[in-house]
Chains A and B, each alone.
Chain A
Amino acid sequence: MRVAASPLDNYILDALPQMERQRLFPHLKLVPMPLGTVLYESGATLRHIYFPTSAIVSLLYVMQNGSSAEIAVVGNEGALGVSLFMGGETTPSRAIVQSAGYAYRLTGKRLKGEFGRHGEMLHILLRYTQSLITQMAQTAVCNRHHSVDQQLCRWLLLSLDRLSGNQLNMTQELISNMLGVRREGVTEAAGKLQKLGVIRYTRGKITVLDRPQLEQLSCECYAVVKKETDRLMVPQQHARSVAPESLPSHTKQ
């Protein structure tokens, strides 16, 4: 049972062959990611790439009037900072820690150096970027056609997939920013789910009690993204070498 944090807790890092691990791992820095931390703002020049191991980060788009909408969720399956290697240097969205935990951080300079070798890192990161694009595109369509209730379910499922356990520590404010609705809307949607016995929602904590029902109540968008992400990342997805229960316990604040 592994108690110390390890880069292997992130799927992308875990998928790197031995030589690339040897080259990069010494330069990874483990950083704490407290709930609500803004990793970078929209338009900021990125300096690092982050590989979460236990934190979950939301990519949010913020309008001129301050209203926002979540575009994608990133956890231990992925990375934050794809703009670094896509060439844009800046990003359109704000990255904010939605669930506290840890991540490994690498400087942009090192990442670009590795990327430039056109080895496994490049291929994995590009495939991951395509899965991120899939999530973003699905969100765009979901926001056009589906209800807030369905979107809350989808978002809960996406988050759970990136966490060990069935509990999310969240503030109502964060959820309302994700869904782009007022707090009353969140209370209402969460209340419905609680009445159905799908979740328990108490001060700042959501516990999922009935995952199958949650999947049924979600729109198709959750399953579509999951299936495509699995397809894209499967060559990299080694069987999880660590059982969920034995992941570092410092995932919650």
Chain B
Amino acid sequence: MSTDARSSIRRIERNALLAGLPSAERARFSTDLELVPLALGQVLYESGETMTHAYFPTDCVISLLYVMKNGESAEIAIVGNEGMIGIALFMGGDSTMSRAIVQNAGHAYRLKAQVLKDEFQRGNAFTRALLIFGSALITQMVQTAACNRHHTVDQQLCRWMLLSLDRLPSGQISMTSKLIGNMLGLGEVDVTTATNNLSKAGLIQYDDGVINVVDRPGVELRSCECYSVVKKESDRLLAHQANR
């Protein structure tokens, strides 16, 4: 195998969903995987927009946001290199109500919609991996729904930071207060208050749009149970896939 081919495989394997597939199965569509750069704030799909491709992040993070009629929004899930964007392609809707927006710039592999659908129909490891990822997404959404009913802004900010960090190799989150506000469904003032609280407590440093988590155990303590519940269940589901 050439060096190029080897490094290409290593790169594909940065997405855990693709990495977990038997290499023979992945080889069937790996030439259809196109590596694309994704910029911060780039909108992959608007609410209701028909999806043309599935995306498999390698080092970027995508937010699934719901936007209300009055423009207010809230994040319902975060997707990084553990999964994919485009479940509507195999669930049959072809579009969803959420906006998929790049929360942290990086790269992703994209696959044409029809190729994904054809592969899904085969009923092999890829099918199972996609369905299990769907389960992981449901887990996140369920937790977010409950969290938004019961928990405080500080707790939700911590939860959101931890979920993002788990998907970022750099350990750094580059975000403006406004964007964080869009994720959490808050105004900039509330975000600033919350980040100031966490800075004062020595948990984070937030300068020039970059959040550095200085005391991760402290952030985990401050977060609500929602972070660890989602993490534990996601880990369990994805290990489930790897063991098949």
Contact = CB atoms under 8 A, between A and B. Distances in A.
A88 B137 contact: no
B166 interface: no
Given A141-B74, A144-B185, A180 B142 contact: no
Chain A interface main SS type = helix
Give the interface centre of A59, A83, A93 by most chain B CB atoms within 10 Å: A93
A176 to B, nearest CB: 12
Contacts of B121: 118
B135 A140 contact: no
B145 A129 contact: no
A81 to B, nearest CB: 12
A63 interface: yes
B138 interface: yes
Interface stretch (A1-9, A64-72, A167-175): A64-72
Nearest to B130: A87
A134 B96 contact: yes
A72 to B, nearest CB: 9
Nearest to A68: B146
Interface residues of B, number: 46
A142 to B, nearest CB: 8
B91 A61 contact: no
B1 to A, nearest CB: 32
B92 A130 contact: yes
Interface stretch (B3-11, B13-21, B65-73, B203-211): B65-73
Contacts of A144: 74, 148, 184-185
B28 interface: no
A92 interface: yes
B93 interface: yes
B150 A63 contact: yes
A251 interface: no
A202 B103 CA distance: 49
Contacts of A126: 90-92
Interface string A41-75: 00000000000000000010101100111010000
B240 interface: yes
A93 B142 contact: yes
B98 interface: yes
A137 interface: yes
Interface of A: 59, 61, 63-64, 67-69, 71, 82-83, 85-89, 92-93, 116, 118, 123, 126-127, 129-130, 133-134, 136-141, 143-145, 180, 220, 224, 228, 231-232
Given A126-B92, A144-B184, 16 more contacts: A61-B145, A71-B145, A83-B135, A85-B131, A86-B134, A87-B240, A116-B123, A127-B91, A129-B134, A130-B93, A136-B142, A137-B76, A139-B145, A140-B141, A141-B76, A144-B74
- Shortest beta-carbon contacts, A-B, top 10: A88-B135, A140-B145, A61-B146, A143-B148, A69-B149, A130-B91, A144-B185, A127-B92, A87-B132, A144-B148
9 contacts: A85-B131, A88-B135, A130-B96, A133-B138, A141-B66, A141-B73, A144-B74, A180-B150, A232-B92
